Amino acid sequence: MNVATPGPEAAQIETAIVRMVRRFYAGWTDDALLAPILAALPEPEAHLAVIVDFWSRQLLGTERYQGKPFPPHWALKIEPAHFDRWMALFAEAARAELPADTAEQAITKAGHMSVAFQAGLFPLRGPDGRPMRLPH
């Protein structure tokens, strides 16, 4: 984790994170795979606020986010293809809204977590490369 960067640069990145998260989820609404997952969230605004706090912690070292990112993903009906779409939309939003070096830092972090989440969710793959996971 980074040491918190005090001062105007950190404040600018905080507001850029809010724009980035909004842009990211706006992308979900037009995406066939991700739109139903967003639509199923009972309180999307509360979720977005958690995600802003998560990225603030990752990129600025703030401590508003104190959760555990992985467990809620067990309950979702997601496959590797969802992660590919997630990463594509995230990279687009990060590059559009964050300073260039911060965007690359965020994309690298998200990529590592995407790989780790998939290793946890889909430990076994069939011959077709798809997860051997019992239907929900």
Chain positions contacting ligand HEM, by CB under 6 A: 34, 37, 41, 47, 50-51, 54, 67-69, 72-73, 76, 78, 82-83, 86, 110, 113-114, 117
131 φ/ψ angles, rounded to the nearest 5 degrees = -65, 140
With CB atoms as reference, the residue minimizing the distance to ligand HEM is 67
Are the C-beta atoms of 94 and 107 separated by less than 8 Å? Answer: yes
Minimum gap (Å) between residue 58 Cβ and ligand HEM = 8
CA distance readout (Å), 39 to 9, 24, 32, 87: 34, 14, 11, 19
d(C-alpha 3, C-alpha 11), whole Å: 14
> Locate tokens 């401590």: which residue?
63
Minimum gap (Å) between residue 20 Cβ and ligand HEM = 12
Are the C-beta atoms of 98 and 136 separated by less than 8 Å? Answer: no
Angle at 8 between CA 6 and CA 10, to 5 degrees: 55
Closest CA to 88 of 105, 107, 101, 106: 107
Minimum gap (Å) between residue 114 Cβ and ligand HEM = 4
Closest to ligand HEM by CB, 6 vs 43, is 43
Closest to ligand HEM by CB, 47 vs 133, is 47
Closest to ligand HEM by CB, 16 vs 34, is 34
Closest to ligand HEM by CB, 6 vs 68, is 68
Minimum gap (Å) between residue 11 Cβ and ligand HEM = 22
Closest to ligand HEM by CB, 72 vs 99, is 72
